[in-house]
Amino acid sequence: MEGSPIPVLTVPTAPYEDQRPAGGGGLRRPTGLFEGQRNYLPNFIQSVLSSIDLRDRQGCTMVVGSDGRYFSRTATEIVVQMAAANGIGRLIIGQNGILSTPAVSCIIRKIKAAGGIILTASHCPGGPGGEFGVKFNVANGGPAPDVVSDKIYQISKTIEEYAICPDLRIDLSRLGRQEFDLENKFKPFRVEIVDPVDIYLNLLRTIFDFNAIKSLLTGPGQLKIRVDAMHGVMGPYVRKVLCDELGAPANSAINCVPLEDFGGQNPDPNLTYATTLLEAMKGGEYGFGAAFDADGDRYMILGQNGFFVSPSDSLAIIAANLSCIPYFRQMGVRGFGRSMPTSTALDRVAKSMKVPVYETPAGWRFFSNLMDSGRCSLCGEESFGTGSDHLREKDGLWAVLVWLSIIAARKQSVEEIVRDHWAKFGRHYYCRFDYEGLEPKTTYYIMRDLETLVTDKSFIGQQFAVGSHVYSVAKTDSFEYVDPVDGTVTKKQGLRIIFTDASRLIFRLSSSSGVRATIRLYAESYERDPSGHDQEPQAVLSPLIAIALKISQIHERTGRRGPTVIT
């Protein structure tokens, strides 16, 4: 802290109409918009900071992190300068600006911060032509609830100025404390640069039996693993936790250097984009494979020879094996949560364990109330996200350590564990079709017409014959959620068609990028007979998909010949 106090400036600005957070306090847009549109980023940051009551904001501590994508360093500097000017007393920032989303949640909860700002566009591509995002997590460590997102949006629509200290400069590479004297501020503004992994690692040590996992990875007959960080934020975490702490060989970890463009690939852990890992696993050398998305909250599990574990199956198998984890043996299991589109495989496990299942809209923010109130121990979504009440975010590395703990306890391969689960509970065939980059007006009319069709009373009991299959409609609705904690009602969260054999079709509109829209189509079919557990999901689900395409007319109305992505 040297020289004259740093001036605090008030800069005039004009509002943008498109800064409505898509959910969880997050704004995701093309990077060029953040980088090129005058005051686009400062406007949103000011709206986030102003959403915190002044008395709670003055002198408070906040956490800042990023997934390392292009524009993150510039954005981090702007966040720091604006936080200082808006009365924030202290910022905790990961070294080089890097912090995974689970680590941000962890640190917020550990130090009782007022909240955190995460610079990420999740699994979307990076680089100048990719996407950028800003996400606000609140004091419980979880994504902002809708009431906070609405407040941010209302502020963004009327903003006239923002406060900033443009002369404030920090060194993101230097661990430790940096202090700055500001004009008209009684106390110095403090920035603490921390190791991005250490606090989060200390939490993991209290949850898992690290000795058991280390024995699995280093002992006689060690399990050979392959873990792909996809050039996102998880590289330092994989190396420090799995390699340094748990003894996995250094060459177990690939693509561990965070890159601004993620090596030119989508940092999305699925069979479409994690092809490097998939090919390595198909060779048979490795018994366990995992990949993470850009900010570390999503994951994918593969077994030997590329055996794929679907996200919904992974959630159900984790639930059925929580007794393998010391944390749950100590804390007990109070309930499970899943997003409505996620398969009902979890429900069958819950029934056997005599614990409740809470079915929520898509979006992790809906789980926070359940966990804060002690109702829910484990939550998950079909979009490769799983987590527990140790945080208020989905947590990819936590899920991988759960899987390694289950393998260590059961002494079975990934495929054996999955097949045993199917034999006990039955198999839920499941897939998701994404129709991305659609014109928002077109998607609105498709969903409107679909809702009119399927919610009409005459639709109940209708039969659809596809080949030798006949499906009878048992129930339909436009899903709405009543929060059991505070009674908040969230409507129009997807259209459900449930058939008499428990098969499901779901249509849901998603617009996380804010510029174009996505329609997601989900299909699920249940097979109890073990003789039917080795079929290809696409073959099993093709009759349901045919019904969905017929009633939605999505190909005819969008000009598409098929989905953009199938998972």
Q: Write out the catalytic residue numbers.
A: 122
Q: What is the CA radius of gyration of the chain?
A: 24
**In Å, how far are 12, 131, 272 from 266, measured between CA atoms?**
37, 11, 9
What gap in Å lies between CA 405 and CA 453, rounded to an integer? Answer: 47
What gap in Å lies between CA 403 and CA 235, rounded to an integer? Answer: 19
What gap in Å lies between CA 243 and CA 235, rounded to an integer? Answer: 11
What gap in Å lies between CA 299 and CA 398, rounded to an integer? Answer: 10
What gap in Å lies between CA 69 and CA 416, rounded to an integer? Answer: 38
What gap in Å lies between CA 312 and CA 236, rounded to an integer? Answer: 27
Q: Which of 98, 128, 103 is nearest to 113 (CA)?
A: 103
Packing angle between helix 396-410 and helix 414-425, nearest 10 degrees? Answer: 80
The answer to whether 564 and 555 have CB atoms below 8 angstroms apart is no
Query: In the beta sheet, which residues pair with residue 180?
Result: 189
Which two tokens mark 2?
A: 């040297």
Q: Which of 559, 544, 450, 457 is nearest to 495 (CA)?
A: 450
What gap in Å lies between CA 20 and CA 552, rounded to an integer? Answer: 28
Q: Which of 141, 23, 99 is nearest to 392 (CA)?
A: 141
**In Å, how far are 95, 101, 222, 235 from 230, measured between CA atoms?**
19, 15, 25, 8
The answer to whether 342 and 493 have CB atoms below 8 angstroms apart is no
Which two tokens mark 109?
A: 């909860």
DSSP E strands, 206-298:
225-228, 253-254, 288-292
Q: What own/partner pairs with CB < 8 Å and gap ≥ 24 does 537-542 have?
A: 537/429, 537/430, 537/431, 538/431, 538/566, 540/429, 541/429, 541/430, 541/431, 542/466
What gap in Å lies between CA 263 and CA 65, rounded to an integer? Answer: 20
Residue 232 DSSP SS3 = coil
Reading phi first (left if > 0) and then psi (alpha if -120 to 50, else beta), residue 514 is in left
DSSP summary character for residue 8: -
C-beta neighbour count of 135 within 10 angstroms: 26
Q: List helix spans (H) across 87-197.
A: 101-111, 146-158
What gap in Å lies between CA 338 and CA 278, rounded to an integer? Answer: 27
C-beta neighbour count of 441 within 10 angstroms: 9
Which two tokens mark 410?
A: 């059961």
The answer to whether 90 and 33 have CB atoms below 8 angstroms apart is no
